[in-house]
Amino acid sequence: MTERRDPDALIRRAGRGNPDFDQHFLVDDRVLDRIPTYAESFDRSHVLEIGAGPGALTDRLLAVAERVTVVERDPDFASFLREEFADAVADGALTVVEGDALEVALPDYTCSVSNLPYSASSEIAFRLLPESKPAVLMFQREFAERMAASVDDDAYGRLSVTAQHYADIEVVETVPKEAFDPQPRVASALVRVTPRDPAYEVEDEAFFLDFVKALFTQRRKNVRNAIRNTAHISHLGDPEAVVEAVDEDLLRKRPGNLAPETFAELAALAAAHGEPM
């Protein structure tokens, strides 16, 4: 087995991350070595890594993938990666894309394995999820637990329903802040994302997602009031007609007690009766 690069030595050569720019780099060898194993069941022939920094995870991914494409926004780290992994770049095993992961064109990758910048983790996650590609992603622990939460869990909410619309979400490891340099203020967690079709049908995905967003802005209200109060978010022209079409028992519940398939049923009724604009 090829000897792995020391993450602390990489940081010394590349330069320390700036926490003001959301740069927190993994330095725990044990965590770094485990991360690719969580993607063993995925096709790792072309791995997408977002936010590589000095390349400690990149080094591990090159050991298991045929190709790795890195998207790195910081031009200094992008330049360092090209120099540090010059042989892999020359061999076609590594491509370094300098730019914002929310803006650059993504390659035709087979899975993503990334320690995401936390300030943009939600936006990046919801760029990746519709791609229907498997992933192992690092998030703040609270965010990860909300993604994976089941109905009636305290952490269950809009994020849970929306993420699980696209995939099975599993928290596979909690990572302490001491595993990073500089240390973030909170613990982190690794999430395994396994794409699958939802167990329900949605005719208009954009409307469904807007409807879920709308109701969760009123999560403490019952469904009746949530529908009435959020027509400006769900773009319903006649929310009262939706209320009249929904079963009374369901109207008494709160959004946080509704399973994703129930949201799909409600969204279908809203689309049929509420005159979406």
Residue positions forming the annotated binding site: 24, 26, 51, 72, 100, 115
- Which residue in 53, 38, 46, 50 sits closest to 8, CA to CA? 53
- Which residue in 64, 106, 58 sits closest to 83, CA to CA? 58
Tokens standing for residue 37: 């194993």
Read out DSSP for 77-130? HHHHHHHHTHHHHHHTSEEEEES-TTTSPP---SEEEEE--GGGHHHHHHHHGG
**SS3 breakdown of the chain: % helix, strand, coil, rounded to 5?**
45, 20, 35
Instruction: Say if residue 176 is preceded by a cis peptide, omega within 30 of 0.
Output: no
Q: Which residues make up each annotated binding site for S-adenosyl-L-methionine?
A: 24, 26, 51, 72, 100, 115
Exposure string for 260-277, b = 16+ CB within 10 A, e = fewer: bebbbbbbbbbbebbebe
Contact 187, 176 (CB under 8 A): yes
Three-state secondary-structure class, residue 277 = coil
